[in-house]
Structure 1
Amino acid sequence: MTRSVLRYVEHRISRHPGTDVTFEAECLRCDWQAPASDDGAAVDIECMSHTGRTGHQGFRRWCTSFAWVERAG
């Protein structure tokens, strides 16, 4: 019989130091993409402008960040 010793260490996750969140969007009806930005409102405005020009109303939006995991304590 094999014996095992289990040890648990608490960790925490946070945004990687020195990085920002990046916001992006793309139209679901054509190949249009908003320029990536660290300002989510600017990307939303780009989407609304695209809707005004084309009538396209559906967009895929995403936020990208880099994570940093370290032991707690």
Structure 2
Amino acid sequence: MTRSVLRYTPHRIVQHPDTDVTFEAECLHCQWKAQPSEDGGAVDIECMTHTARSNHRGFRRTCTSFAMVVREE
């Protein structure tokens, strides 16, 4: 019979330190897209401006970040 020793090391997921969060949005009614930005408020303002010009009210918003798994210290 073979014996095994199991060791568990706790991990956590963190945002990659060399990257920022990027916000994006696209209209659900046409091909319009907001300029990607690190400022989510700026993207929201672009969406509201598009709504004022086109009366399109639906948007897909995405928030992209890069993560890495590290061992707990």
Fold conserved (TM > 0.5)?
Answer: yes
Q: TM-score, normalised by structure 1?
A: 0.90
Per the TM alignment, residue 13 of structure 1 is displaced from its structure 2 partner at its CA by 1.1
Please name the residue that 1:13 is paired with.
Answer: 13
Matched, 1:35 2:43: no
Change in Cα spacing, 1:2 to 1:39, as seen in structure 2 (3 Å) is same
**% of aligned pairs identical?**
70
Q: TM-score, normalised by structure 2?
A: 0.90
Bigger fraction of residues in strand: 1
Q: Which sections of structure 2, spanning at least 5 residues, go unmatched?
A: none
Q: Which sections of structure 1, spanning at least 5 residues, go unmatched?
A: none
Give RMSD over aligned pairs.
Answer: 1.4
Runs of 4+ in 1 over 4 A off after TM superposition: 1-5
Matched residue count: 73
